[in-house]
Amino acid sequence: MRKLLSSGLVLFAGVVSPVAMAPRETPKSPHADYRKDPRFQALRRFFEAGDCPAKEYAFAFLEAADIYNLDWRLLPSISFIESTGGKASQNNNIFGWDSGRAHFSSPTAGIHAVGYYLSHAIQYKRKSLDQLLVTYNPAGDYAQKVKSVMRRIAPMQ
């Protein structure tokens, strides 16, 4: 090992990008038609009330929540806190993911990438909602803000 290091060969252990971890294709939804789902109407109403572009992605939010086993209000709420539901987003990054530096091919791709990461990445996996939100953004009142938006979308269960 010393010989390798002294000869100039250096090994780097890096952090894998959350976007690189996400599936390349959007997985098939377990539910074919969300238009009849009451959650779909609740999300549309919430985003329409704020004139948020994210209203067009209600289907994707529900699909990601169901595929990745997340509370269906979590991703929309984070998007609302981070970019006012897409109003202040850049590069299809409605979550401000990676401090706003992440680029996604579409808002739907971003929804699935972030959903996948929150479900599969070791730092989020098997955490309570509060623990997940503190990991996502450790700012003092961030978790309370997200949960407040979640309650605005629909009552906590």
Token pair belonging to 45:
């109403």
Residue pair 154/73 in contact (Cβ under 8 Å)? The answer is yes
Average model confidence (pLDDT) for the chain? 85
Q: Which residues pair with 93 in a beta bridge?
A: 90
Q: Does residue 17 carry a pLDDT above 90?
A: no
Burial of 69 (0-12, 13-18, 19+ CB in 10 A): exposed
Q: Does residue 10 carry a pLDDT above 80?
A: no
**CATH (domain of 80):** 1.10.530.10
Which residue has better confidence, 138 or 20? 138
Asked if residue 143 is part of any domain, the answer here is: yes
The per-residue pLDDT for range 79-122, each reduced to its tens digit, is: 999 999 999 999 999 999 998 999 999 999 999 999 999 999 99
Asked if residue 135 is part of any domain, the answer here is: yes
Structural domains counted in the chain: 1
Nearest alpha-carbon partner for 125 in 69, 57, 72? 69
Q: Does residue 7 carry a pLDDT above 80?
A: no
Q: Does residue 16 carry a pLDDT above 50?
A: no
Asked if residue 111 is part of any domain, the answer here is: yes
- Which residues, in sequence order, are CB contacts of 126 under 8 Å at separation 6+? none
Asked if residue 124 is part of any domain, the answer here is: yes
**How much of the chain exceeds pLDDT 70, in percent?**
79
- pLDDT at site 44: 96
Asked if residue 145 is part of any domain, the answer here is: yes
Q: What residues make up the domain containing 127?
A: 35-153
- pLDDT at site 28: 53
Which band of pLDDT confidence, cut at 50, 70 and 90, is reported for residue 26?
Answer: low
